Amino acid sequence: MLVFTGLYSIAGLGVAFLLGQCGIVSLAQSVFFGIGAYASAYCTTQLNWWAPSGFVIGIAASAALAVAVGWPILRLSGYFLALATLALAMIGQVLFLEWDWLTGGTLGIGGIPKLSLFGFDLRTPQRFYYFVWPVAVLVLWLHANLLGARNGFATRAMRDAPAAAAVLGIDTHVLKVKIFVSSAVLGSLGGSLFAHYVSFVSVDSFTVERAINFLLLAVLGGAKTIVGTVLGAGFVTVMPHWLTGFGDIHPLLFAACLIAAVMFLPEGFGGALQRALRRGREA
């Protein structure tokens, strides 16, 4: 569970950053997650290449796709942009199914080797856990850096008042594409890790539903805070699992939890936490 939380945090952070700092709703993260996973799966099982090559190829392919698709669609905004990313997710889902020479189609690709680090096999969930979390923390740290630096300020400026940002010399379109690419890279990284962890990938893991889950964790966690993403990822991973204990009504219970979370914590877990901390400091 905690491994999945870590994995989804990495890919979800890309969505959360787009949503919270750029004001862009992306439903396409499943595609980049899939590209990373299939790149790792194909490189290690079909080509017998060294595992890191899968990471690199996945990231390169995701970044290239993000530029190619992002360049035209990021001229759109609001609902239209969200719909364009949804279309990308749907096309991705179909292609993952149809290009079976690459993805194994409905059968998927199995037997993906476990990662090993300096000769230390990450074969048990516990060991993988100690690998995924430092990666997640590293990724969070990188984004915290970005947020507090030149391009982070520019990004948030663009979100709040795009016209004024342009007047300050910020090329908003180019900046959006850059952030979209970095989001895709995170998606791919999460996907590669996912493939090595579960050692079997199939189309079911990269559906539009997955994309919605990534968006959900960003919204629930509170996209404006970086830590919120982790809490959101924890929620969408742990909660459904835990609720299955209540029998067949578990999807209903999960839905009720979601509604409650959105109603009572409009700024997400991260926002609520931040507020509580601020109150504690003032008291």
Partner 1 sequence: MAALLEVRDVARSFRGLQVLRDVSFDVEEGGIVGLIGPNGAGKSTLFNIISGFLASDRGQVIYAGADISGRSVPQRSRAGLVRTFQTPQVFAHLTVLENLIAGCYKHTNTGVLANLFASRRSRSELHRMHADAEAACEKFGLTAVRHRPAGKLPGGQQRLVELARAVIGKPRLLCLDEPSSGLNTGEVTGLMAALERLAAEGITILLVSHDMDLVKVASVIHVLCFGEIIARGPLVEIRRDARVREAYLGA
Is the separation of the CB atoms in 140 and 146 below 8 Å?
Answer: no
Contacts of 46-53 with C-beta under 8 Å, sequence gap 24+, read 46/109, 51/113, 51/115, 51/116, 51/196
142 binds partner 1 (CB under 8 A): yes
H or E element that contains 116? strand 116-117
- Report the residue number, 183 or 205, with the smaller CB distance to partner 1: 183
24: contact with partner 1 by CB under 8 A? no
Cα–Cα distance between 140 and 31 in angstroms, integer?
21
Site for partner 1 contains 277 (CB under 8 A): no
When the beta carbons of 127 and 178 are compared against partner 1, the nearer one is: 178
- Using CB under 8 A, which of the segments 27-35, 88-96, 158-166, 249-257 binds partner 1? 158-166
Contact status: 259 vs partner 1 (CB under 8 A): no
Stretch that binds partner 1, among 40-48, 92-100, 117-125, 159-167 (CB under 8 A): 159-167
Q: Rule CB under 8 A: which of 164-193 touch partner 1?
A: 164-172, 178-179, 182
CA distances from 79 to 82, 90, 272 (A): 5, 16, 27
Task: Rule CB under 8 A: say whether 223 interacts with partner 1.
Answer: no
* 156 binds partner 1, rule: CB under 8 A: yes
Q: Which of 48, 79, 119, 160 binds partner 1 (CB under 8 A)?
A: 160
Contact pick of 48, 68, 163, 279 for partner 1 (by CB under 8 A): 163
DSSP, collapsed to helix, strand or coil, labels residue 103 as helix
What's the token pair of residue 283? 């008291």
Specify whether the CB–CB gap between 14 and 184 falls below 8 A. Answer: yes
Counting residues that bind partner 1 (by CB under 8 A) gives 30
Residue 130 CB, nearest distance to partner 1 (Å)? 23
Residue 71 half-sphere exposure, CB side, CA atoms within 13 Å?
A: 5
Burial class (CB in 10 A: 0-12, 13-18, 19+), 90: middle
Residue 281 binds partner 1, judged by CB under 8 A? no
User: What is the contact surface with partner 1 in residues (CB under 8 A)?
Assistant: 142-143, 145-146, 148-154, 156-157, 159-161, 163-172, 178-179, 182, 224
